Structure 1
Amino acid sequence: MSSSDSSTGSGGGATSTIKSYIDQAAGAAQNLVNSVTESVIGSGSNNSSSSDKDSTNNPKYDQTVGSLKEATGNLTGNPSLRRAGEEQNAAGKAHEAEAQLKDWGQGVSDRVQGHLGAVGAAVAGDREEEDRWRAVHDEGKRRQEGVERDVERSQGAEEERKGGGK
């Protein structure tokens, strides 16, 4: 029985050693994520101390770092890091959708204002003013169509991800 006790004891020691290696690897992966996120923030801004402000203004940053955290959490078996990554990725997607909606709305507004302004200028016989309002209309149209293309692209990419997993 003492031999089984000693083998259990050494097995426990081996398990403990393996766990410490896993913990070290998880810590190293988390440090890597932190250093990557800090370097991304630092390269995107002159003031790296305002990381929250930078990430709020950059939805792609949140999506990228969130995905990286999620993958690292999956790799290291760290569910809290994985969840934090999922949440940051989702927040980035939400911010991007909000910005796209704002741009689309501004595009529609510019198109309407440009059209009405051009009609008013045409009625008044002011050709230069009519051209200025047409430029506003055209810029709104470009903005609106750009957002629509971005949304279509992201929907296509999402459908590919879902279809690729089947």
Structure 2
Amino acid sequence: MSTQAPAKDTNRYFEEIEDGEQYTVEQARTITEADIVNFAGVSGDFHPYHMSKTRMEDSQFGGRIAHGALIFAIAEATIADMNPKSFTYGHDGIRFPTPTMIGDTLTVSREIVERDIYNDDYGKVVYAYEATNQDGETLYVGEHTTLVERRSENPDQ
């Protein structure tokens, strides 16, 4: 059974996190030309698909597309649980099924799809992420694995 996460950012031990929790940020962010230009400058990725208006006008996309890594970063910042008791263990299955265009507005969601004991100190929580545009098209999917502190069995610790 899916439940709503209590907030975007939490401060919880592994034992307080529930299987199937979901959280969504509707119409979180519109991708702008400035986003793409700034990301190109920071990343060094000046591929014509991102930077050449002339080349991309007549392409199958009909215009410049955002860097996948930019969409990943924005989605992560929008939806990640910034729980101080957890840290990123990795990302898997990152895909960009539909290109993100300048002017697309992202809705980003997460759902806990796996929750297991990792070791004596940490539990593993896997979130499935999805970003869609204003037309409901999926722009990004991926899984974010975190390790979350477990409660100490010894109350004196």
The TM-score, its normalising length taken from structure 2, stands at 0.23
Relative contact order, higher structure (CA 8 A, sep 6+): 2
Greater strand content: 2
Return the TM-score normalized by structure 1: 0.22
Which of the two has higher C-alpha Rg? 1
Structure with greater helix percent: 1
